[in-house]
Structure 1
Amino acid sequence: MLPMGCMVGPKYSRPEEQKAERYQNTEIPIDTAKSVVNLKWFDIFDDDVLEGLINKGIENNYDMKIAMARLERARAELGYSKADLYPSFQYGGTVYANKDAFLPTNVGASMNWELDFWGKVRHQNKALQAELLATEEARKVILTGIISDIAISYFQLRDLDNQLDITKKTLVARQESFNIINERFIKGYVSEVDKVQIEQQVAIAEAGIPRIERQITFLENVISVLLGQVPGRIERGKANSDQKLVTDIPLSLPSKLLENRPDVRQAELYYVSANEKIGVAQAMRYPSFNIAAIAGFASVYVSDLFQDSSYKQNASAGVVGPIFNFGKNKRRVEIYRQEAEQSKFYYQKTYLIAISEVEQSLQDVKTYKQEWQARNKQVQAARKNLELSDARYYNGYVSYLEVLDVQRNLYEAELELSRLSQQQLSATVQLYKALGGGWN
């Protein structure tokens, strides 16, 4: 058993958080027995292509590789620090050819051991262990970010695909209307105003296509970087309108975020580490104890080096400690104490942000659904309105200005409905992430 003394320094206790008993933006009953971490990320998606992209991102994403390298370094630093608890052994030897130099030839081994009497090394090890665990939580934060970023970018891409399809169909419809009206203009049935107005609408639809194609290329490049691959075309799966995400995500108590959210756990572990460093600083105010031993052979003549008479050994113990350094050691303790205080406040802030993100995600999921339902009614009504307006125009009851207004409303409503489909899907992913799911 290693000779240890008492450990100076504060003992860790979890800070008080501002408790929330329930979420205000949901009527869903909270099940304290369930947790979102029991719902794996691949269980919430119903698109094999999307799942394949996410798996590729997890494997190849460079942020993920950087996180893994940091994790391995943290493990190495912990092992490096743990070695300080044990004695160190060295060997050495020197050969002198000139006997008149009065320097004996020698070979031997030595041992040096600084006793961790006040817990300086143990506190340091605990600090590094907490930082190692925090690094693991940071890896989980990056993992959830990769999953959600790929999924949301994919839904945005499929939304742009749908917008491009809507715009192309709109262009075809307007081109057909232009052909009819231009023919009527040539025959003198309508004025040039009608012809110019529909010509303008054709140009607007034409201009929309390259704009959307530019946005598609941008998003494909974004997804390619997330996948850790050279930018190129991204494979498509289901359209957003065909996606069926799991919507009954289990809600646990807000306090469960302390266990589910890796960023909250990371912030707490950094506070644990900062708290242990106070103990390191306090231990440095006390004397340190050292044991040393040397054993080996020394002789003026190399031929007599390993004779019994040449054998030497020695052991010693020492103590060294501060006497007066104008309050430097005391200030060191205060520095680490204030750093720990900052870490505590950051942890408490992270917890509040976590609750805020869940509240916002719950509200987003609910309101995007309501907005989509209303917008869908608008699209259906606009399509019927266009059908009636076309009939009224060709029968001479209204000017073409009314038809153009109905066409614009329908086009904008269809684009907005497409965006709302994407936003509903993205909000569900954000809720899953906010609740702390996806990393295991």
Structure 2
Amino acid sequence: MSKKYKIIVIVLVLSLFPAGCMVGPKYKKPEQLKSDSYKNERNLDSLASVTNLKWFDLFNDDVLKGLIQKGLENNYDLKIAVSRIEQFRAELGYSKADLFPSFQYGATINSNKKYITPSTAGASMSWELDFWGKFRHENNAVKNELLATEEARKVILSDIVANIAIAYFQMRNFDDQLEITKHTLETREKYYQIISERFEKGYISEVDKVQIEQQVAIAEAAIPNIERQITFQENAIALLTGQLPTEIPRGKSNTELQIVSKIPLSIPSALLENRPDVKAAELRYAAANERIGVAQAMRFPSINLAAIAGFASADLSNLFLGSSYMQNASGGIAGPIFAFGKNKRRVEINRQQAEQFKFLYQQKYIDAVSEVEQSIQNVRTYQEEWKARNRQVQAALINYKLSHERYDSGYVSYLEVLDVETNLFNAQLSLAQLSERQLSSMVELYKALGGGWNL
């Protein structure tokens, strides 16, 4: 076998041999606290209702769906996240290139024959063999970071959908409050006219007139405050949808809206590992774990191969003659001897960074379980509270009608009427608020369970 072919065989053997020489720890999934179900479980439903349900199937309001779609198209946080994914894809390709040889070309032209540097034209190859897995560990780390970034995009996606929906519900709540307040003001102004006429005729005392005048002013003062809240919510929705401040279109009221999903209120907590923020945290830990291997590989010698082929001649006119052709192949090894513990400390630094990412992952998992626990409890209690408050409103409406009849018949003072009317007004406002909280809590539960927030 010629010397040239021997060199080729040696290069091929050395290029294949590193596959079994990776140093560094193998990834092991961290242990988590597990429970079969949640503390506040109700009905054990299929997980498929969460994983298969997309956000556009969650709402029965086309206006709200349109706002969410606009937010997904225009939101700047989502655009930044998509750009960050493309950046990591480029970094992954950049990292993969280190696994392969690098080829270069070059040429030097010298017209002076007496000059010590001859004219040259050729190509060269250099290759640091990944004998200890340094480049493969780094490549795996970047790959996990890319996957974590894709999961982070899903987190932003779910935030956009949930935040727009909740802001919309809050805006419609203030719309309801404004309508309730305006209706209350109209009723009070009507009775103010009646009571003023009775006072002028001497049928009632000035106390009744002052009391109703005070209630009119209270209702008038509440309207500008609610209008400010509506403008605030409209601006928030405009920002979430990537628009300049504008009037937001209205669809159904909160009492007409409903969450049309069958969201399970009890699933095994282990399934929360599919939540994008939990998965992203684990992937970041996996990436940090790979970089321990990078640091460990840097403690071992690096093996380099090089080859060159081309032409060299002191006489430029003879550069490409056969006698000017030259080729060479070489190998080298270099490694640390003594660096006062620097290389060892590098490994320990990366080990502790990985440990921190592991703790962050475990903490994120517990946070996710806690969020679902709270969301389940919120859904249940808001539903119960809404039912009770709705009964209060119905009873208050009957009491309001009866108290006015008693007042018109002269059986009670207007102070009793005002007390009944105030209770009705407050109960109606509370019911409007609970309608919003019911809807919002269902969205928050869907988000906490890691439901289908896909485009």
TM-score of the alignment, normalized to the shorter chain, above 0.5? yes
Report if the CA contact (8 A) 2:49-2:262 is conserved: no
Conserved 8 A contact 2:38-2:267: no
Q: Using the alignment, how far apart are the partners of 1:271 and 1:365 within structure 2?
A: 33
> Which residue does 1:8 correspond to in 2?
23
The sequence identity of aligned pairs, in percent, is 64
**1:151 matched to 2:172:** no
- Unaligned runs of at least 5 residues, structure 2: 1-11
Superposition pairs of residues 221-240 of structure 1, within 5 angstroms: 221-240=235-254
User: Aligned residue for 2:7?
Assistant: none
Written as runs of structure 1 = structure 2, the 5 A alignment for 1:126-145 is 126-145=140-159
User: Is the Cα–Cα contact under 8 Å of residues 36 and 252 in structure 1 kept in the other structure?
Assistant: no
In structure 1, runs of 5+ residues without a counterpart are: none
For 1:85-234, what aligned pairs fall within 5 Å after superposition?
85-234=99-248
Matched letter for residue 92 of structure 2:
L
Cα distance in 1, alignment partners of residues 150 and 390 from structure 2: 44
Aligned counterparts of 2:350 and 2:271: Cα–Cα separation in 1: 30
TM-score between both structures, scaled by the size of structure 1: 0.97
Q: Which residue of 1 aligns with 2:442?
A: 428
Q: Write the letter of the residue equivalent to 1:141.
A: V
Report the Cα offset of residue 58 of structure 1.
1.0
Between 247-256 and 143-152, the greater mean CA deviation after superposition: 247-256
What displacement does 1:247 show? 4.9
1:318 paired with 2:329, answer no
Check the 8 A contact 2:174/2:229 in 1, yes or no.
yes
Matched, 1:60 2:74: yes
Q: 2: CA distance between counterparts of 1:434 and 1:29? A: 17
Of 277, 281, 287, 2:295 maps to: 281
2:323 match: 309
Aligned to 1:384: 398
Matched, 1:341 2:355: yes
Task: Tell me how far apart the structure 1 counterparts of residues 66 and 443 of structure 2 sit (CA, whole Å).
Answer: 17
1:274: Cα distance to partner?
A: 0.7
CA contact (8 A) 1:71 1:136 kept: yes
Sort the Cα spacing of 1:184 and 1:381 in 2 relative to 1 into closer, same or farther, 3 A: same
Q: Distance in 1 between matches of 2:56 and 2:268?
A: 23
* CA deviations over 1:84-128 (Å, ceiling 9, x no partner): 000001111111233332221111111100000000000000000
> 1:57–1:228: 8 Å Cα contact kept in structure 2?
yes
- Residues 370, 426 of structure 1: alpha-carbon distance in 2 compared, 3 angstrom cutoff: same
Contact residue 386 and residue 406 of structure 1 kept, 8 A:
yes
Distance 1:29 1:222 in 2: 37
> Equivalences for 1:67-82 in 2 at 5 Å?
67-82=81-96
What is the alpha-carbon distance in structure 1 between the residues aligned to residue 174 and residue 113 of structure 2? 89
Q: What residue identity is the alignment partner of 1:414?
A: Q
Deviations 1:139-159 (A, max 9, x none): 000001111111111111111
Quick one: which amino acid aligns to residue 25 of structure 2?
P
Counterpart residue type for residue 9 of structure 1: G
Counterparts of 2:44 and 2:94 in 1: how far apart (Å)? 49
* Distance in 1, Cα, partners of 2:283 & 2:277: 10
SS of alignment partner, residue 16 of structure 2 = coil
SS of residue paired to 1:100 = coil
Give the CA deviation at 1:394. 2.2
User: Which secondary structure does the structure 2 equivalent of 1:298 belong to?
Assistant: strand
Task: Tell me the equivalent position of 1:17.
Answer: 32
Give per-residue Cα distances to partners, 1:364-386, cap 9 Å, x unaligned.
11100100011111111111111
Q: Which residue of 1 aligns with 2:3?
A: none
Number of the residue aligned with 1:271: 285
Asked if the contact 1:379/1:410 (under 8 Å) is kept, the reply is yes
Give the deviation of 1:413 after TM superposition: 0.5
Question: Higher mean Cα deviation, 100-109 or 33-42?
Answer: 33-42
Paired with 1:384 and 1:245, the residues of 2 have a C-alpha distance of 30
- With 53-62 and 395-404 compared, the bigger mean Cα shift is at 395-404
Q: Is the 8 A contact 2:147 2:280 kept in 1?
A: yes
Question: Cα distance 1:35–1:242, how it changes in 2: closer, same or farther (>3 A)?
Answer: closer
Dislocated runs of 4+, deviation >4 Å: none
- In structure 1, the residue matched to 2:5 is none
Q: Is the 8 A contact 1:127 1:274 kept in 2?
A: yes
- Tell me whether 1:416 sits opposite 2:439 in the alignment: no
Given that 1:35 and 1:252 are in contact with CA atoms closer than 8 Å, whether structure 2 keeps it comes out as: no
Question: For 1:375, which of 371, 386, 389 is the aligned residue?
Answer: 389
8 Å contact kept, 1:147–1:438:
no
